[in-house]
Structure 1
Amino acid sequence: MQFSLWLALLGATVVISFTPGAGAINTMSNSLNAGFGRSIWGILGQQAALVIHVAIVALGLGLLVSNSPVLFAAIKYAGAAYLIYLGLRQFLAKPTGNAEVEAARRDEPAFSMFRRGMWVNLLNPKAIVFFLAFMPGFIRLDQPQLTQYLVLIATVLAVDILVMWFFFAAAARSFQRFTRTVRGLTMMNRAFGVLFIAVGLMLAFL
């Protein structure tokens, strides 16, 4: 991949990563609930989903999804339902003020965070359509395909991890003062619950 083309890819990826969405909300929620350091597990799950999306498009399966209204709708509504489920669960969560309960909440298994992050990004058919439109501009058919895809994936993952962890997860730390009381934690749970539900509804209807 030519350096000028890679710079264009880098710029586009930075803009995309800074665009708020379900992944950013999930990252901020993890940072508040499990801590800044452990929020990386959710971020890595989101990256795994991006790799799968790129593979789907590269193998030509993305066209199948985008050209099948039934399949596209099924994935879309499943993704919307999952986000709404996460939102309702967080909205209805009731902090107890019990130190042992809250400590257990912060010790959520890494795989659980990874899995949730993966599903948040994976159940979004619009990501497949986006990569269908995004990737052809950076892949040259007259050059080795594998190397170009590896460069693209490495760039997308590196930028997204940095933005998610050092911007969105770090930004959530400024709200941690609200998590020191039951009332503050309840407010934060409801705020992030509403955000998850809103993104789910947008995925379903926009």
Structure 2
Amino acid sequence: MTLSLWISLLSACIIISFTPGAGAINTMSNSMRQGWRASIWGVIGQQIALLIHVVIVAAGVGLLVASSPLLFGIIRYAGAAYLVYLGIRMMLSKPEVASDGTSTGHRLTRWAMLNRGILVNLLNPKAIVFFLAFTPQFIRTDQPLLSQYAIFIGTVIVVDILVMFFFFAGTARTFQRFTATYRGAKLLNILFGILFILVAALLLLIH
């Protein structure tokens, strides 16, 4: 993987990790109810599920590359189109306003947070579809695949851990107050929708 392509991967991972979703809500909830340090167990659980998704998709894409580079290229362009679609859909969608999350719930054990984190990401059927579109953007068919997938998976997981733990968990109350209003959540959807489209354009230009 070239440096320029890795920088694009890093940028895309940062944007995607900052996009609010079920994992972010779960992390904020754990942080506010169980404590910031304890919330790391939920984040780890989410990464385990994310790793499972990426490995499944990477294995499928690897087989596709070996059999037909043409089909791989078709998927790459279709993936970019999907990112554009995702961005447009995000900008036009009605945002889900988060609850204030300030009520105190029962204490969760580390294993309970770990298991819940796994389920939050693993039971999301859109994750595999997303990574199927996302992964081929950063894989070069003329280079060794194993090292590329290792860099890809490592970058995705490290960035997501840092963003989830230090941003969503660390600033949970402030961020939650912002997304508690319809206007704030809508503006956030528009912002990240535009960023998704820009990432798709960047990937097509730089690959």
- Determine the structure 2 residue equivalent to 1:110: 110
Q: How many residues align?
A: 143
Partner of 1:5: 5
C-alpha deviation, 1:111, in angstroms: 1.0
Q: Which residue of 2 aligns with 1:166?
A: 166
| Contact in 1 for aligned 2:26/2:117 (Cα 8 Å) | yes
Matched-pair contact (CA < 8 Å) for 1:39–1:165 = yes
Q: Contact 2:13/2:159 (CA < 8 Å) preserved in 1? A: yes
How far apart are the structure 2 equivalents of 1:116 and 1:149?
27
Is 1:50–2:17 an aligned residue pair? no
Deviations 1:108-156 (A, max 9, x none): 2111101100110011111111111111010112211111111011100
Q: Identity of aligned pairs, percent?
A: 63
Partner amino acid, structure 2, of 1:32: M
Who is 2:144 aligned against? Answer: 144
Partner of 1:32: 32
Q: How far off is 1:162 after superposition?
A: 0.7
1:5 and 1:117 mapped to 2: Cα distance? Answer: 30
Give ranges in structure 1 of 5+ residues lacking alignment. 64-89, 96-101, 177-206
Distance 1:20 1:113 in 2: 19
Question: What amino acid maps onto 1:39 in structure 2?
Answer: S
> Which one has the bigger helix percentage?
1
Matched AA of 2:123: L
For 1:155 and 1:128, locate their aligned partners in 2 and report how far apart those are by CA, in whole Å.
Answer: 17
Name the aligned partner's letter for residue 123 of structure 1.
L
Distance in structure 1 (CA, Å) of the matches to 2:143 and 2:135: 14
Q: Structure 1 length normalisation: TM-score?
A: 0.62
Spell out structure 1 runs of 4+ moving beyond 3 A. Answer: 173-176
Using the TM superposition, name which of 22-31 and 135-144 deviates more. Answer: 135-144
1:60 corresponds in structure 2 to 60
For residues 65-84 of structure 1, what are the structure 2 equivalents within 5 Å?
none
Q: Which residue of 2 is the match for residue 120 of structure 1?
A: 120
Q: Distance in 2 between matches of 1:37 and 1:150?
A: 28
Partner of 1:67: none
**1:29-57 superposed Cα distances (whole Å, 9 cap, x missing partner):** 00011100000000000000110001111
Which residue in 2 is equivalent to 1:22? Answer: 22
Cα RMSD (Å): 3.1
For structure 2, which runs of at least 5 residues remain unmatched after alignment?
Answer: 64-98, 177-207
Decide whether the 8 Å contact of 1:36 with 1:173 is kept in 2. no
